[in-house]
Amino acid sequence: MRARVHRSEEKGRKSVSWGEQKTIVLGDSITEGYGVSDGECWVDAMPGKNRNRGISGDTTAGMRRRFAAHVLRDAPDRVVIMGGINDLSEGGTLAGVEENLFYMYEQAQRSGIVLVPAVCVQPDFNELLNNDWAAFLPGLHGLPEKLDALAQWIRAYARDNGCICLDFAQKFPEYTHDGYCRYFSDGVHPNARGHAIMADIARKILYP
């Protein structure tokens, strides 16, 4: 699916700093903060007026269905959209994920909301293959390649449309030289240390 090119709304839309703007973060369990305590989720640790719209287990299809109620109705200044891993791990297609993301990206920009496409942190695939995840994730085979292809598509959309890309997949490994697995609770969900890294990445990209 080809990305429609939009001129970024960010520069002329608001005179206030991003820290004063209302941001909605739409996603799944990694956005919601599954497995970490209140205040430890990367969304909660960011500065500014942030509203967490993550739902554990959600897919991009589910995010698309609730987009009007959870994003457009609140009329935020900007929206961070991150999803796709649940779709693909459950056997969904890459084309379907891209179609859902494309719809939400376009809806946000048509509504004058500053769009921030996000690339999710990559799972610890070694851990995934050595625990019980494979028993109920039909899409686990080939998941690394699918997630890499999705990441490239998201980056291309952001680049072609003048959007800032919140690229956790690219930046997260720079913090984990002492062992990638130390930052996950189960191979998929970052633990408190992992969320602290995500918060630091988000602050540096979104609040320079």
| b/e map 21-32, b = 16+ CB within 10 Å | bebbbbbbbbbb
Strands 78-81 and 114-119 turn out to be parallel
- Cα of 202 vs its chain's centroid, Å: 11
Domain spans of the chain? 16-206
CB 131 within 8 A of CB 189: no
Q: What is the mean pLDDT of residues 150-160?
A: 98
Q: Residue 181 has which token pair?
A: 């697995």
CATH superfamily of this structure's domain 16-206: SGNH hydrolase (3.40.50.1110)
Give 132-189 as a 3 state SS string: CHHHHCCCCCCHHHHHHHHHHHHHHHHHHCCCCCEEHHHHHHHHCCCCHHHHECCCCC
Of 73 and 143, more confident: 73
pLDDT of residue 11: 38
Judged against a pLDDT cut of 90, whether residue 120 lies above it is answered with yes
pLDDT of residue 53: 98
pLDDT of residue 186: 86
46-60, 66-80, 117-131: which has the minimum mean pLDDT?
117-131
Q: 143-160 and 94-110 helices cross at what angle (nearest 10)?
A: 30
Q: What is the mean pLDDT of residues 126-149?
A: 75
Q: What is the mean pLDDT of residues 35-55?
A: 93
Coil, helix or strand at residue 28: coil
Judged against a pLDDT cut of 70, whether residue 136 lies above it is answered with no
pLDDT of residue 7: 42
